[in-house]
Amino acid sequence: MIIGIILLLVGVGLVVSFWRPTHRLYFVRRSSRSTIGGALEKVRASGRARVQLHGTAEAPEPLRAPGTLLPCLYFRHKIEERVDVTLTVDGVLYKGESWAEVADESMRVPFALRDDTGSIDVDPSGARFIPKLALDGVEGAPGYRPEERGADAAADSVIRAMANARGKGVYRTFEWLIPLGQEAYVLGTARKTEGDALIRRRGGGPLIIGWEPEEWLVDDLRAKALVWALGCLMTAAGVAVGILGIL
C-alpha cells in the first residue's frame, strides 16, 4: 500500500511538472515550417496559422544588454556577490563562502522577423525565450549600484542578517540574450491584423522565441515528454497497487 502511495505521488508530480513541455512538443509537431512569405499567405487566406519561422530579427527600438552592450530583443542580466557565511549547527561553528543573488533583470521589446520573402511583426509578451549565454560568471558587475536599489537592497540586508552572510563586494555577472541582426527562431500563432499579420500569444498554443534551431528544441521537449509519460505510468501503477492492496 505504501509503495502504491509513493508511486502515485511521484507520478502525479511528474505529470504536473512536465505537462507544459509535452504540450509545447505537440504544438511544435503541428506547426508547419515555412518562409515568412508563405506564412503571410496562409494568414491572409484563413485569418490565422501556426508557424515555425527563421529570419533576421530587427527592432525599431532595440534593447542594449547591460553587460555586453549588444543590441538585442531580449536579455536576462543576473549579478551575484560573494559572501562570507557563518552557520552554527549543534553548537559547532561553520564558516565558508558562497554566492548570493543581488540583481536579476529581464527585458524584451517587440520586433520583426525578416527573410528574403517578407517580414512579420512579433509581440513577445508571454513568450518562452531560449536565449544564448553571453556572460558566464564574468568577474565584475557593470552598471550595478547597490546604493540605488532602495527597498531591494534593504531586503537583501535583512536576508543576509538572518543567514549570517556578509557581502565582500566581489561580484560576478551572468547574461543571456537574443541578439538583433542575427538569425532568430519563432514558433507561434500568426493572426491577421489591420496591417498584415502579427505573431503573439493569445490562446491557441505557446509562443517560443529563441536563437537555437528547432531541432534542439524538439530534442529537449521530447526528453521532457518522456519524463511526463513515465509519470503517467507511475500514476497508473500507483493506482493499481492501491486497488490490489484494498482487495
Q: Is the pLDDT of residue 166 over 50?
A: yes
* Nine cell digits for residue 91: 553548537
Pick 213 or 45 by higher pLDDT: 45
pLDDT of residue 157: 46
> What's the gap between Cα 54 and its chain centre?
19
CA distance 213 to 118: 20
pLDDT digits (tens, 9 = 90+) for 185-225: 898 888 998 878 999 987 657 888 988 655 555 555 556 55
Identify the DSSP state of 237.
H
- pLDDT given at position 118: 93
Tell how far CA 11 is from the center of its chain: 24
Contact 215, 185 (CB under 8 A): no
